[in-house]
Amino acid sequence: MLRKGIDRKKQREVKTVRAMLIINPSSGKEKAMDYEERAVGVLGKRHDLVVIRYTEKAGDATKFAAEACDGTYETLLAMGGDGTINECVNGLAEKKQQPAFAFVPLGTVNDFARALQIPKKPKEALDLLEGYHTKRVDIGKLGNRYFMNVLAVGVIAEAVYDVTPEEKSKYGHFAYLREGAKAFRNKTPFLLQMDADGIEAYHDNAYMMLAAMTNSVAGFEKFAEQAKVDDHQFHIFLLKDLSIPKAASIIPDLVKGKLGANEQVAYFKAKSIRVQSDTKLVVNIDGDEGVPLPFQAEVLPEEIRVIVPKTV
């Protein structure tokens, strides 16, 4: 669908300035459609032409975002949940002519939005397009997949797959914490070997490995408080012990953003990692099931340009 701006004379005289709007109609309890007209109106103030794409199935947002990298689009705006935003990042990654990326977060957790201080209220998120302040941010690459928040391995990481949409709607990001807590009962350590920047960094038992790219993980904005969206680093946390007494000390440190200082957690930074184990495990990529171990991942420094508040 196309929406034309009102200045048609300008379109004839100069190169048409285009924007693409990707909408996931089912996101945010189907609230995305409520803000379509406002999104078109805001985009129309800066662009001559707004091209609208509606997602119908997995992979659509990736395909549409890749189309927006043909050199004719100035802006890509997405309205949807975490999955839609992740797909858009996958469509933009490593393209030569990327448009500026803006998004209205309509998911349950919205870690990427939290890290970039993008408002959760759709109207306020759309208002950022008025200022059009951009910032280049890092993303991660694992095989042929891209991500912007986190990689996780271990029983707790896999427990999030059991969180239902109803639980996410009812409990928000605490639904993941509840499901993770259940995993304590059947906790089993696994032998994990990790190389960081080509050097062995860890070779011991662990209960969970997590590599964060932003400060916000599972809705906890201080999980990796040191992490910046443009610091070119993975912030890696390895949970070494899950006994009840030891686990009790982890929760306060998590809330205070001091997890890396906990004696039960190994913490370090790296630009690239290789992870393997003697146990059959699958890496969680931005909350979704990824690939079996072993895997290699790297940071792509300042790979995409995002429209953010001027304070970021």
Higher pLDDT, 288 or 177: 288
Is residue 43 domain-resident? yes
* 176 and 264 share one domain: yes
Asked whether residue 102 is domain-assigned, the answer is yes
Provide the residue count of the chain: 312
Q: Is residue 226 part of a domain?
A: yes
Report yes or no on 126 lying in a domain.
no
pLDDT digits (tens, 9 = 90+) for 123-148: 999 999 999 999 999 999 999 999 99
Q: Are 238 and 263 in contact (CB under 8 A)?
A: no
7 token code pair: 């200045």
Looking at the predicted structure, is the pLDDT value of residue 10 above 80? no
pLDDT tens for each residue of 182-222? 555 566 789 999 999 999 999 999 988 999 999 998 777 78
Q: What is the distance between the alpha carbons of residues 141 and 145, in angstroms, rounded to a whole number? A: 6
- Apex 61 CA angle, 310 and 163, nearest 5: 90
Q: What is the pLDDT of residue 165?
A: 54
Same domain? For 162 and 65 the reply is: no
Burial 57-90 (b: 16+ CB within 10 A, else e): eeebbbebbebbbeebbbbbbbbbbbbbbbbbbb
Q: Is residue 125 part of a domain?
A: no
Domain boundary, last residue among 76, 107, 138: 107
pLDDT-based confidence at residue 168 (cuts at 50, 70, 90): low
Residues 178 and 270 in one domain: yes
Residue at a domain's end among 75, 107, 139: 107
> 202: domain range?
147-301
Does residue 118 lie within any of the structural domains? Answer: no
pLDDT at 3: 58
Q: Where is 109: in which H helix or E strand? A: none
- Kindly state whether residues 95 and 160 are assigned to the same domain: no
Residues 6+ apart with CB under 8 A from 245: none
The verdict on 151 and 79 lying in the same domain is no
Q: How confident is the model at residue 16 (pLDDT cuts 50, 70, 90)?
A: confident
Q: Where are the strands (E) in the chain, listed by range? A: 2-4, 18-23, 49-54, 73-80, 100-105, 134-142, 145-147, 150-154, 190-196, 199-206, 208-212, 234-239, 265-270, 272-277, 282-285, 288-292, 295-307
The dihedral formed by the CA atoms of 104, 109, 113 and 119, expressed in degrees to the nearest 10: 60
Percentage above 90 pLDDT, the chain? 63
Token representation of residue 102: 């803006």
Report the domain count for the chain.
Answer: 2
Q: Which of 55, 76, 107 is the last residue of a domain?
A: 107
Tokens 């929406």 locate to: 3
Residues 220 and 289 in one domain: yes
What is the spatial distance between Cα 160 and Cα 167, in angstroms, rounded to a whole number?
11
CA angle 224, 92, 112 (to 5 degrees): 25
153 and 292 together in one domain? yes
pTM score, two decimals?
Answer: 0.85
Alpha carbon dihedral 50, 109, 222, 216, in 10-degree steps, equals: -50
Token output for 33: 């459609």
Coil, strand or helix at 210: strand
Confidence of residue 256 (pLDDT cuts 50, 70, 90): low
Identify the residue whose tokens are 């949940």.
Answer: 81
Indicate the pLDDT class of residue 13, thresholds 50, 70 and 90. low
- Asked whether residue 79 falls in the same domain as residue 214, the answer is no
The mean per-residue pLDDT over the stretch 250-266 comes to: 61
- Tell me, yes or no, whether 217 and 92 share the same domain: no
More confident residue, 218 or 308: 308
- Whether residue 175 sits in one domain with residue 96: no
Task: Classify residue 136: in a domain, yes or no.
Answer: no
Contact of 295 with 275, CB cutoff 8 Å? yes
Q: How confident is the model at residue 224 (pLDDT cuts 50, 70, 90)?
A: confident
Within a domain: 113: no
Instruction: Examine the pLDDT at 249 and tell me if it is beyond 80.
Output: no
Token pair, residue 205, equals: 């038992």
* Mean pLDDT of the residues in the chain: 85
Distant-in-sequence, close-in-space partners of 166: CB < 8 Å, separation ≥ 6: none
Distance from C-alpha of 277 to C-alpha of 240, rounded to nearest angstrom: 15
- What CATH number did the domain enclosing 74 receive? 3.40.50.10330
At 261, the pLDDT band (50, 70, 90 cuts) reads low
Same domain assignment for residues 154 and 282: yes
Task: Kindly report the CATH number assigned to the domain that includes residue 206.
Answer: 2.60.200.40
Q: Does 212 lie in the same domain as 155?
A: yes
The whole-angstrom separation of Cα 293 and Cα 290 is 9
Asked if 147 and 85 count as a contact pair (C-beta separation under 8 A), the reply is no
| pLDDT (0 to 100) of residue 60 | 97
* pLDDT for res 241: 72
